[in-house]
Amino acid sequence: MLEANLTKTPLPELIDPEAMFGLPENLLIYSCLADETKIQALNLWKHDLVLLMTATDENMPAHTGQPSYMPGESTAEMLRRVSNVLLALDPLETGKSGPSHRA
């Protein structure tokens, strides 16, 4: 008997939140998603930005396409914006750790 495929296909907004929403503030007005899903997407986005900043600090810049940053905006500024949207959705989220499943 064939076993059911237990691996779920992740939601598109949880694969690449930046590509899906463009700017973190867009998640505040995106009414089709539950706040929990928005928080997951923002935590992944935040985690990716921290990894990008770490790689850049170690002179290993990653080219992942054109970021949705405003002209002249740094990765640190985008990280601040993502963090602010997280605070707007759930003020208690800041004390929680980021995702552990991404490398």
For the stretch 31-69, pLDDT in tens is 889 999 999 999 999 999 998 888 776 666 555 555 556
Residue 45 lies in a domain: yes
pTM, two decimals, is: 0.69
Residue 1 lies in a domain: no
Rounded to a whole number, what is the largest CA-CA distance in the chain? 57
Residue 78 lies in a domain: yes
Asked if residues 15 and 76 have their Cβ atoms less than 8 Å apart, the reply is no
Q: Tens digits of per-residue pLDDT, 73-85?
A: 788 899 999 999 9
Number of domains in the chain: 1
Q: Half-sphere exposure of residue 64, counting CA atoms within 13 Å on the CB side? A: 16
Burial class from Cβ neighbours inside 10 Å (0-12, 13-18, 19+) for residue 74 reads exposed
How many Å apart are CA 78 and CA 99, to the nearest integer?
Answer: 18
**Measuring CA to CA, how many Å separate 85 from each of 11, 27, 80, 91?**
20, 8, 9, 10
Token pair recorded at residue 44: 């992944």
**Measuring CA to CA, how many Å separate 75 from each of 1, 10, 61, 87?**
50, 25, 12, 18
Residue 4 lies in a domain: no
Domain range holding 84? 33-57+72-91
Phi, psi of 81, rounded to the nearest 5 degrees: -65, -45
